[in-house]
Amino acid sequence: MNAPFIKTENLCFSYDEDDGRHINVLDNVSVEIERGSYVAVIGHNGSGKSTFARLLNMILEADSGTILVDGRDITSEDFTEDDMFEIRRKIALVQQNPDNQIVATIVEEDVAFGPENLGLPPAEIRKRVDDALATVGMSAYSRHEPHRLSGGQKQRVAIAGVIAMLPECIIFDESTAMLDPVGRRDVLTEIDKLNKQNGITIITITHYMNEAALADKVIVLDNGHVAAEGTPSEIFAERDLLNKCGLDVPQCTAVALGLEAHGYKIDGDITTVDKCADAIAGFLERNGVACVKK
């Protein structure tokens, strides 16, 4: 089997409070992220999710433990500044607030910012900008002013800026949290496409359980520890454990569990709205109510 794209071993990060208390934000976190996979990291506020993202992107430095990216330890002493930029090109970070990520006054100039900093030839920059804007469905807005766009559109421009750097992995740190439902749906569709069609490894950090349900694997952080990891079905079958971590199952799973608690047998692992709808339709069919799909 191929080595994982990212592997952390006993990763620790702490800081000292003004009153001298030593706070462990991440405590011996050991996880593996396969190349091309879609991984969600969930946990209540303060569980260490963003710190984990920032360590992978080399914005923060670990106290101890290792982070292997493509088999190379990025926490090693002999890692140079050039190596660090190389890692940031491989593992890009999209943050929560799109306004903090937009740097130019015209959309295409904003997307070109990263490739320009790589010193690429103009024709290559043009191609990357056009391709990135097409990928996120924003080509028609290339000459627009970013500040006039909606939150979802701005976040898609920010994603285009990241894609134009041709990263192998993108970390989305609560990147849908500030968006309205339509913007959130558009960005989630984009993320799924980047993973399934472009083969980009995705790590999403989220407190929306329905977003975590879209991943191949979910890692649950609780007070800096890995409390559980598994497929969404495996994780959402552990409602008590999630509750102990200050989390809950997605609403659609809660609906299925509620129906079961009232004696209605619902088939399968219900982790998404589509699965929930199919299960309820199946139940109705079995009970003589014809459900015709449009």
Please say whether the beta carbons of 219 and 39 come within 8 A.
Answer: yes
By CB under 6 A, the count of residues binding ligand ADP is 10
Q: Does 4 help bind ligand ADP (rule: CB under 6 A)? A: no
Residue 8 CA from chain centroid, whole number: 17
Q: Does 48 help bind ligand ADP (rule: CB under 6 A)? A: yes
Among 37, 51, 57, 175, binds ligand ADP (CB under 6 A): 51
Nearest distance from C-beta of residue 280 to ligand ADP, angstroms: 34
Q: Does 43 help bind ligand ADP (rule: CB under 6 A)? A: yes
In eight-state DSSP terms, residue 90 is H
Q: Does 230 help bind ligand ADP (rule: CB under 6 A)? A: no
Cβ contacts of 157 within 8 Å, gap of 6 or more: 98, 102, 107, 110, 111, 133, 136, 138, 141, 146, 149
Distance, in Å, from the CA atom of 220 to the CA atom of 199, rounded to the nearest integer, reads 24
Nearer to ligand ADP (CB atom), residue 144 or residue 225:
225
Distance, in Å, from the CA atom of 267 to the CA atom of 290, rounded to the nearest integer, reads 17
DSSP run (H or E) holding 8? strand 6-16
Nearer to ligand ADP (CB atom), residue 14 or residue 150:
14
Among 2, 45, 100, 197, binds ligand ADP (CB under 6 A): 45
Site track for ligand ADP across 10-29, x = CB under 6 A: -----x---------x----
Cβ contacts of 182 within 8 Å, gap of 6 or more: 152
Q: Does 90 help bind ligand ADP (rule: CB under 6 A)? A: no
Nearest distance from C-beta of residue 25 to ligand ADP, angstroms: 4
Distance, in Å, from the CA atom of 144 to the CA atom of 139, rounded to the nearest integer, reads 10
Using the contact rule CB under 6 A, the part of the chain among 28-36, 47-55, 162-170, 247-255 near ligand ADP is: 47-55
Nearest distance from C-beta of residue 124 to ligand ADP, angstroms: 36
Using the contact rule CB under 6 A, the part of the chain among 39-47, 134-142, 144-152, 266-274 near ligand ADP is: 39-47
What the block records as the tokens of 257 is: 């569990």
Q: Does 49 help bind ligand ADP (rule: CB under 6 A)? A: yes
Among 24, 32, 46, 104, binds ligand ADP (CB under 6 A): 46
Distance, in Å, from the CA atom of 217 to the CA atom of 33, rounded to the nearest integer, reads 9
Nearest distance from C-beta of residue 174 to ligand ADP, angstroms: 8
In eight-state DSSP terms, residue 152 is H
Q: Does 246 help bind ligand ADP (rule: CB under 6 A)? A: no
Q: Does 232 help bind ligand ADP (rule: CB under 6 A)? A: no
Q: Nearest to residue 193, comparing CAs of 149, 135, 262? A: 135
Using the contact rule CB under 6 A, the part of the chain among 42-50, 110-118, 246-254, 271-279 near ligand ADP is: 42-50
Please say whether the beta carbons of 223 and 189 come within 8 A.
Answer: no
- Amino acid at residue number 177: A
Q: What is the 3-state secondary structure (H, E, C) of 194-252?
A: HHHCCCCEEEEECCCHHHHCCCCEEEEEECCEEEEEECHHHHHCCHHHHHHCCCCCCHH
Distance, in Å, from the CA atom of 152 to the CA atom of 149, rounded to the nearest integer, reads 8
Using the contact rule CB under 6 A, the part of the chain among 38-46, 64-72, 134-142, 156-164 near ligand ADP is: 38-46
Q: Does 36 help bind ligand ADP (rule: CB under 6 A)? A: no
Q: Which residues bind ligand ADP (CB under 6 A)?
A: 15, 25, 43, 45-51
